[in-house]
């Protein structure tokens, strides 16, 4: 494993499970100290802290619902207090709710947009304020989705949130460049994580989905983590405002039968 993150501190939202967990562990393996936040899954968060501290890196977990601006800001304050600074932010926390468009409730719309988009917006703002104050460069990595491009019927609010992330990535790339803060998105396809437990337990739907993935398998959180560590490192210093797809070819797969 390369050691390209030695001396850095990363904050990962939703680092207690799935893609966030794999990224937190991977960044630590490459030398970063890592703060994660979790909404409910304290057990998972504790496991991540244990697995990171076992590799001699520092780690800390904090409860926060990034759908609340105050919680998100508090997470960054706590991360700085515990680990001295934050250089890298991974906006990973996210959720989706399935419903026909005409059935979507205000409550579900808010739940999705608050975490996926507003959370990303204001946690990034907290990290940018911290970096500007310290006059340090930084790396922001957003976990978006193929659905920042690709329609996902019955998940309209999720798609709206990911489309918003796509545009914020571009907008902030320009606005933050003078401060040497880069921002990029990773857009995973179908990755085996708790967000799609329902699908994983539905053999018919799963088979249909696999048929759409040219590489013929679901992704694993580790498939995403390697790219995140590249984007967190100075090897990616000239990369900003881009989205990288990690989807086994799903997004652009169209075949005429």
Among 142, 145, 161, 236, binds ligand BGC (CB under 6 A): 145
**x/- map, 48-87, ligand BGC, by CB under 6 A:** ----------------------------------------
The piece of 45-53, 109-117, 122-130, 141-149 that touches ligand BGC (CB under 6 A) is: 141-149
The piece of 21-29, 59-67, 126-134, 142-150 that touches ligand BGC (CB under 6 A) is: 142-150
**x/- map, 147-166, ligand BGC, by CB under 6 A:** x----x--------------
CA 193 to CA 187: how far, in whole Å? 14
Among 195, 228, 232, 246, binds ligand BGC (CB under 6 A): 195
CB-based contacts of 188, cutoff 8 Å, min separation 6: 19, 143, 144, 145, 146, 219, 223, 224, 245, 246, 247
16 binds ligand BGC (CB under 6 A): no
Q: Which is nearer to ligand BGC, 20 or 189 (CB)?
A: 189
Q: Which tokens sit at 211?
A: 């048929």
| Strands, E assignment, the chain | 9-13, 33-38, 59-63, 88-91, 138-143, 181-188, 243-246
Asked about 158 being catalytic, the answer comes back as yes
The piece of 2-10, 26-34, 53-61, 194-202 that touches ligand BGC (CB under 6 A) is: 194-202
Q: Which tokens sit at 14?
A: 């939703």
Catalytic residue among 38, 158, 238, 254: 158
Q: Output the furthest CA–CA distance in the chain (Å, rounded).
A: 58
233 binds ligand BGC (CB under 6 A): no
Among 73, 114, 184, 196, binds ligand BGC (CB under 6 A): 196
Q: Are 9 and 34 in contact (CB under 8 A)?
A: yes
Nearest-approach distance from CB 106 to ligand BGC, in angstroms: 22
Could you give the strand order of the β-sheet that contains 138-143, starting from the edge strand earlier in sequence?
A: 59-63, 33-38, 9-13, 88-91, 138-143, 181-188, 243-246
Q: Are 188 and 246 in contact (CB under 8 A)?
A: yes
Residues forming the active site: 158
């Amino acid at each position: 494993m390369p050691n390209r993150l030695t001396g850095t501190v990363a904050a990962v939202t939703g680092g207690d499970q799935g893609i966030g967990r794999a990224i937190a562990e991977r960044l630590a393996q490459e030398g970063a100290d890592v703060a994660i936040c979790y909404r409910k899954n304290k057990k998972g968060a504790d496991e991540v802290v244990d697995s990171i501290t076992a590799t001699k890196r520092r780690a800390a977990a904090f409860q926060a619902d990034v759908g609340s601006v105050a919680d998100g800001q508090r997470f960054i304050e706590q991360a700085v207090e515990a680990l001295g600074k934050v250089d890298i932010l991974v906006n990973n926390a996210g959720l989706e709710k399935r419903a026909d468009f005409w059935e979507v409730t205000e409550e579900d719309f808010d739940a999705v947009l608050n975490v996926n988009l507003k959370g990303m917006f204001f946690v990034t703002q907290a990290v940018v304020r911290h970096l500007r104050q310290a006059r340090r460069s930084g790396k922001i990595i957003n976990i978006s989705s193929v659905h920042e491009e690709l329609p996902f019927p019955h998940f309209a609010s999720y798609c709206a949130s990911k489309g918003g992330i796509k545009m914020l990535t571009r907008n902030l790339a320009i606005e933050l460049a003078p401060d040497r803060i880069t921002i990029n998105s990773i857009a995973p396809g179908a990755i085996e994580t708790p967000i799609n437990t329902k699908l994983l337990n539905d053999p018919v739907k799963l088979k249909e989905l696999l048929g759409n993935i040219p590489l013929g398998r679901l992704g694993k959180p580790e498939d995403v983590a390697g790219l995140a560590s590249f984007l967190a490192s100075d090897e990616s210093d000239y990369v900003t405002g881009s989205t990288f797809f990690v989807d086994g070819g799903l997004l652009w797969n169209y075949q005429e039968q």
